[in-house]
Amino acid sequence: MHEMTDKKIHDSVLELIGNTPMVRLNNICADVTSEILVKLEYLNPSGSLKDRIALEMIEEAEKSGQIKPGATIIESSTGNTGFALSTIGRLKGYNVTIYETMPGKAGSEKEKMMKNVGAEVRLMESEDTEGLKERSIAGSEVELPGRQLCLDDEKADSSVWWARQFSNETNVKSHHITAEEILDQTDGHVDVFVQSIGTGGSLLGIGEVLKKACPNVKVIGIQPASSKELWHPGMDFPVTEIKGGIVSRMLKSGAVDALVRITDAEAREMTHRLWREEGLYCGVSSGANVYFAMREAKKTDKKLRIVTLLNDHLTRYLTEERYVT
């Protein structure tokens, strides 16, 4: 990750990735003793924490010779990684193709965003989820058909590089830097860390570093209630060419203490509170994170320092508000 400097003019928007600010919640925490600190990942240039992994994965692939000039970067995504790779890949001069797996109108919205910055987008025809009672979406599950197509494309064409966000260790390593930022901002004092699980990269990467620096820290991961797979720490999770990866390692790592689930409605309700009561214009996974941060705060009269991420911007949810990982 590019280190922040004191210069007044940056040479590229890529230098603005990372080093996001941290804010203490006020009104939402009025009735609890603990403090909740939120790291504003939606202030990254493309609007989400996925800028961190997109930049690091591409630059690592450049160094190792996996990407050469004129290459095409491909990925399967529900939106944030797709847009981050589209933004950064195009800035670096590569072709970018994204299999967009977000169902419904929101998928079409994300398709337009990525096309606007010069990417090719192949919108996946996933099942219509309009009528479902539980409308949260587990990215690790809906992305699977797109991952298979990425694998097929990469095998068929040597100029294609699949980023493999779900299994690329650079994803995890990029969040070691996020964790170092958190430790710097909190003077090394974190009691609880909460994060939604998509690829598992941010939860594992941050959890690994925090566990070393703060041995008593409690690390909590969140799954959508719609997930067909119920995970728990220590379990075996199968690894294939399109599945497992970081999640499999995360479950065995010892870096995560608890895995919880949340409904779409619960996540949305807290997201609206963040907009209205704190002026924090984040997306729905951020509401899920703060919901469980508050649950931890309400368990004790001690003054815990609870840290979480606001993963992306509310502009990702103009068409539909859904808890998507």
CA distances (Å), 242 to each of 55, 108, 160, 269, in order? 22, 24, 16, 33
3-state secondary structure of 272: helix
pLDDT digits (tens, 9 = 90+) for 158-194: 999 999 999 999 999 999 999 999 999 999 999 999 9
112 included as an active-site residue: no
pLDDT digits (tens, 9 = 90+) for 207-239: 999 999 999 999 999 999 988 888 999 999 999
Contacts 24+ apart (CB under 8 A), 24-31: 25/278, 25/290, 26/277, 26/278, 27/277, 27/278, 28/273, 28/274, 28/277, 28/278, 28/290, 28/294, 29/294, 29/297
Specify whether 127 is located in the same domain as 255. Answer: no
Final residue belonging to a domain, choices 162, 188, 222: 162
Q: Decide if 302 is inside a domain.
A: yes
H-run or E-run covering 179: helix 169-185
The pLDDT score that the predictor gives to residue 139 is 79
CA 220 to CA 257: how far, in whole Å? 6
Output the average pLDDT for the chain. Answer: 93
| CATH code for position 110 | 3.40.50.1100
Better pLDDT: 102 or 33 = 33
Specify whether 129 is located in the same domain as 207. Answer: no
Which one from 7, 39, 50, 303 is the annotated catalytic residue? Answer: 50
Q: Decide if 189 is inside a domain.
A: yes
pLDDT digits (tens, 9 = 90+) for 53-92: 999 999 999 999 999 999 999 999 988 999 999 999 999 9
Q: Decide if 7 is inside a domain.
A: no
Question: Out of 6-15, 38-47, 261-270, which region has the weakest mean confidence (pLDDT)?
Answer: 6-15
Residue 133 has pLDDT above 80, yes or no: no
Specify whether 291 is located in the same domain as 209. Answer: yes
Residue 128 has pLDDT above 70, yes or no: no
Q: Decide if 212 is inside a domain.
A: yes
Specify whether 182 is located in the same domain as 296. Answer: yes
Strands ordered across the beta sheet of 305-310: 22-24, 35-40, 305-310, 192-196, 218-224, 258-262
Specify whether 138 is located in the same domain as 229. Answer: no
Specify whether 69 is located in the same domain as 153. Answer: yes
**Angle at alpha carbon of residue 162, lines to 177 and 47, rounded to 5°:** 45
Interacting residues of 65 by C-beta distance below 8 A, sequence separation 6+? none
H-run or E-run covering 95: strand 95-100
Final residue belonging to a domain, choices 131, 162, 193: 162
The pLDDT score that the predictor gives to residue 40 is 98
CA 93 to CA 109: how far, in whole Å? 24
Interacting residues of 314 by C-beta distance below 8 A, sequence separation 6+? 42, 271, 275, 281, 282, 283
3-state secondary structure of 5: coil
Pull the structure tokens for residue 247: 């999640």
Number of structural domains, the chain? Answer: 2
pLDDT band at residue 5 using 50, 70 and 90 as cut-offs: low
Q: Decide if 324 is inside a domain.
A: no
Specify whether 22 is located in the same domain as 92. Answer: no
- Residue 277's nearest CA partner among 22, 29, 42, 20 is 29
Residues of the domain holding 150: 50-162
Residue 42 has pLDDT above 80, yes or no: yes
Output helix, strand, coil percentages for the chain, rounded to the nearest 5: 40, 20, 40
Q: Decide if 3 is inside a domain.
A: no
Specify whether 195 is located in the same domain as 304. Answer: yes
Q: Decide if 6 is inside a domain.
A: no
For residue 30, count other CB atoms closer than 10 A to its CB: 8
Specify whether 228 is located in the same domain as 130. Answer: no
Percent of the chain with pLDDT over 90: 82
Specify whether 261 is located in the same domain as 302. Answer: yes
Q: Decide if 170 is inside a domain.
A: no
**Angle at alpha carbon of residue 263, lines to 79 and 110, rounded to 5°:** 15
Specify whether 18 is located in the same domain as 60. Answer: no
Residue 119 has pLDDT above 80, yes or no: yes
Specify whether 223 is located in the same domain as 93. Answer: no
Final residue belonging to a domain, choices 107, 130, 162: 162
